[in-house]
Amino acid sequence: SAVISQKPSRDICQRGTSLTIQCQVDSQVTMMFWYRQQPGQSLTLIATANQGSEATYESGFVIDKFPISRPNLTFSTLTVSNMSPEDSSIYLCSVEYSTDTQYFGPGTRLTVL
């Protein structure tokens, strides 16, 4: 399995600001994903981070609000833009290997005041 790290692990932000979350993997992977987990809820896929092209967003998530970068096969960022208290969640990245199995990072706990 992969070693996946995320930065920051947690943050408290003011309404209207933006936060960029980083995800680093210790080996090259083709597929990287970003999820949101709202308080007390399950995980919801935000988008698939594609290397060298635009991310593929799920219904209900848009690039202007959640811009994603994937500059290489070991790194991706998710930005939460123009934040509101409703954006308070845990944001998780995951990676998938050829075994169709996803492994998750430790998550970034975001609180928006």
Partner 1 sequence: GQQLNQSPQSMFIQEGEDVSMNCTSSSIFNTWLWYKQDPGEGPVLLIALYKAGELTSNGRLTAQFGITRKDSFLNISASIPSDVGIYFCAGQLRTGTASKLTFGTGTRLQVTL
- By CB under 8 A, name the binding residues for partner 1: 1, 4, 31, 33, 42-45, 48, 56, 58-60, 92, 94, 96, 99-107, 109
Identity of the residue, 17 or 101, whose beta carbon is nearer to partner 1 in the bound complex: 101
CA atoms within 13 A on the CB side of 22: 9
* Smallest distance from partner 1 to CB 22, Å: 15
CA separation for the pair 41, 88 (Å, rounded): 12
Identity of the residue, 17 or 41, whose beta carbon is nearer to partner 1 in the bound complex: 41
Other Cβ atoms less than 10 A from the Cβ of 64: the count is: 7
